[in-house]
Structure 1
Amino acid sequence: MKLSTKELTESLRELILKGEFTSGEHMREIALAERFQVSRTPIRVALAANAKDGLLKYSRNRGYSVRSFDKRDIIDAFEMRSMLEGVASRVAAEQGMRLDAEQQARRACDVNDSLLLQNCEIDEASIEIWREQNQLFHSAILNQSGNRFMHEMMRIVQQIPAVYPPIIAPYRLQDLRLYNAQHRKILDCIIKRQGMRAEALMREHITGAGDIFCEAKPN
């Protein structure tokens, strides 16, 4: 089935975020067109869209390549993310979390608890499940805010650390268990309408994850 331009853009974005292409790698239009079974025209549109989002950079002589991010970029991204998600957590607590959002966040915690308790090692399958459930937890809180500008800012901020492969390798099993325990504490504060506490815990949660991520990057 032929992908629409929007679907193609999102598929390419997902590949970049998963580390399918290395930092600085040239994005070859012909190879991408063959991979997605489309002409080069929609490939150019998808490349331009991802460049606009900051995942790719454009050079007149070389075309598009995967943008490289240094440690300072990653530190700044995690700092901004901690601020944005901290505010989102406080707003969710002050407004009262919708039942569907609460259920989504709680279910994500349950799935990851079960996953992390039964695994002694983090294999590829476990990584994919953990990443998906982690995203569901954070999106449940972010979506609660109803602030579209916050969504757009988060979309930009979240993609920066993700392009540094391997995406999750710096995290140990005990780290992931700790993060899931922190998720439960944050959710508990939101449900109890403890806005300031929820914001502080979320900021601490994101900052701690960023510290571990940055320790694994040499420069």
Structure 2
Amino acid sequence: MTPIFSLFSRLLFEVAIGARDVSTINKFGGIVLGIAAIDDILLGSKYFIMESCGMAWITHVGGFALSKVLAQDKKYFDKPANAPTRVVQVLVKDGDDARNLVSAVWGQFCVVGTMLGVGLVWALVRGWQSTLVGFAVAPVFAVTMMAQTRLVSRCEIRNKGPREEVPKVYCEIISNIRGISCIAFEGVFRSQFDAATDKTLITGVMGAFVEGCTYPHLPR
């Protein structure tokens, strides 16, 4: 939809020369408003469809994984790597992280691939000389994207640990709720849970600044 917004330049031109032709201004103004409305509807539909597909996919995968876990014998859960807290963490937290693969990554990959493919073909058809000159900026763009990706990856790795700690502490409290109530250790475990959530919030806010600064530069 972005190239279609070039009609906005005609509207700016008509206004800049003194708004002499009111009918033309109204015509192109209505067209621009219509395009903006369609663009927002398509953008919202994209997010709705991809989020729905991602949730349906992760629900199916989670149900399949849970059925496999329930089919295991007792020796499977005696291993430290297969503790109930770890299993719940993998099913819930890691599954939610994998949902972004469908809801965000695949959709954005299709959008970027389509924009680059169609844009390059159209540019080569209209003027291949100028397009080849524009390729000189490609290394700068690639280096910038690599730096941005590395920063975001570091933030994700740093945020993953605190996010995993919250369900781990929660599962430990729930699994030992009777013992905690008997020995009156509610305050201790509450402070542990609050500390885990506070740490997650702090690291999340710090990472959101890095990721949020690069979001406006990504194609929708």
Normalised-by-shorter TM-score class: under 0.3
Higher RCO structure, 1 or 2 (CA under 8 Å, sep 6+): 1
| TM-score using structure 1 length | 0.27
- Of structures 1 and 2, the larger Rg is shown by 2
| TM-score using structure 2 length | 0.27
Structure having the larger proportion of residues in helix = 2
